Amino acid sequence: MLRERRLHRAKAVAALRELADRQVNYEPSSESRSLPTREACWNLDSLRHPIAREPAGDPQQGGAWEIACRLVRDYQFADPAILRAIYSADDTLLGRNMLLEGRFAGLRFDMGVRVTSVIDETRGCGGKESRVWGWSYQTLEGHLEQGELTYEVVKRLRTGAVEFCIHGYSRRAPLANPLIHAGFAAFGRPTQQRFYRASAGRLRHLTHAELQGAAPLAPKTLPGYDSVVIAPNLWANTSSYRACHGE
């Protein structure tokens, strides 16, 4: 509860609003430059996790793909033991600033990101077509890392398989504090990889819970700030969620 109360404070809301004046904290790659590589000290990540299965063809109304897209849009899939966020409900997804609160080694850190692209397309052709929706964010000044992360919900139209895909690139930002630098060097990367796996598993569980009749996981606003959303909310820890999975 202490961790949740920390994001409820006026200081956190002020920090969110200050992100509007911050810039991306690295030089993004472009077609005129080489893509990020491990040789250039970037970590390259890619994860594909099965979520559910629908009948073949276009996504079903109210089906697994649509449910997963909504949960990803609202940042409800994130593992709250590692990352939580606040953002303005008044902002469109593209351009949305998010104040992330990360936790590793018992410490908490505020990190700003900005949604810089939204994906909504059909990829492939013939028997390899996929319906894809998702978004990417880039890190802002003051973040512990530099890089871009993309979340996508993918439906394979031929088989009906719905998947969650995470891919991106990152590296440690220059850190002046030697203790933070040492701690992040030791715990940052393992925590990052654990976050990917745990969040993919959470999205799968939440999607199946709704398919089995659980109430949709709606965004939760901060008390006193009707337009500021805190996500994810902690519904997944309640007895109703555990009951859906026989836990």
Cβ proximity of 65 and 131 under 8 Å: yes
Please compute the mean of the pLDDT values over residues 53-57 and round it to a whole number: 97
Residue 13: φ, ψ to 5°: -65, -40
Residues 6+ apart with CB under 8 A from 113: 97, 98, 100, 137, 138, 139, 140, 143
The average pLDDT across 199-223 equals 94
First to last CA, the chain: 22
Cβ atoms of 208 and 196 within 8 Å: the answer is: no
pLDDT bracket for residue 185 (50, 70, 90):
low
What is the chain's alpha carbon radius of gyration, rounded to the nearest angstrom? 18
Spatial CB neighbours of 190, under 8 Å, sequence gap ≥ 6: none
Q: What is the pLDDT of residue 47?
A: 96
Task: Compute CA distances 163 → 51, 61, 126, 132, whole Å.
Answer: 5, 17, 19, 10
Contacts of 246 by beta carbon, 8 Å cutoff, 6+ apart: none
Lowest mean pLDDT among 126-130, 149-153, 196-200, 209-213: 126-130
Instruction: Tell me the average pLDDT across 64-68.
Output: 98
Whole-angstrom CA distances from 138 to 40, 50, 201, 203, 237 are 18, 25, 23, 22, 29
Q: Percentage of the chain with pLDDT > 90?
A: 64
- Average pLDDT over all residues of the chain: 86
Residue-wise pLDDT for 83-103, tens only, equals 999 999 999 999 999 999 987
The pLDDT of residue 198 is 95
115 versus 105: which is more confidently predicted? Answer: 115
- The verdict on whether omega for the bond into residue 232 sits within 30 degrees of 0, i.e. cis, is yes
Q: How far apart are CA 41 and CA 132, in angstroms?
A: 29
pLDDT at 26 over 50: yes
Q: Which residue has the higher pLDDT, 222 or 29?
A: 222
Contacts of residue 182, defined as CB under 8 A and 6 or more positions apart, other chains included, come to none
More confident residue, 147 or 3: 147
Does residue 241 have a pLDDT over 80?
Answer: no
Mean pLDDT within 193-198: 93
Q: How far from 92 is each of 31, 62, 118, 147, 238, CA to CA, in Å?
A: 27, 22, 11, 22, 30
Q: What is the mean pLDDT of residues 24-35?
A: 66
On the question of pLDDT at 51 being above 60, the answer is yes
Question: Does residue 31 carry a pLDDT above 70?
Answer: no
pLDDT of 169 over the 60 cut: yes
Give exposure, 174-213, as e/b (b: 16+ Cβ within 10 Å): eeeeeeebebbeeebbebbeebbebbbebbbbbbbbbeee
Give the pLDDT band of residue 48 (cuts 50, 70, 90): very high
Over residues 188-199, the mean pLDDT reads 87
The residue written with tokens 């993004």 in the block is 28
Which domains, from first to last, does the chain contain? 2-24+37-244 (3.30.530.20)
Q: Residue 117 — very low, low, confident or very high, per pLDDT cuts 50/70/90?
A: very high
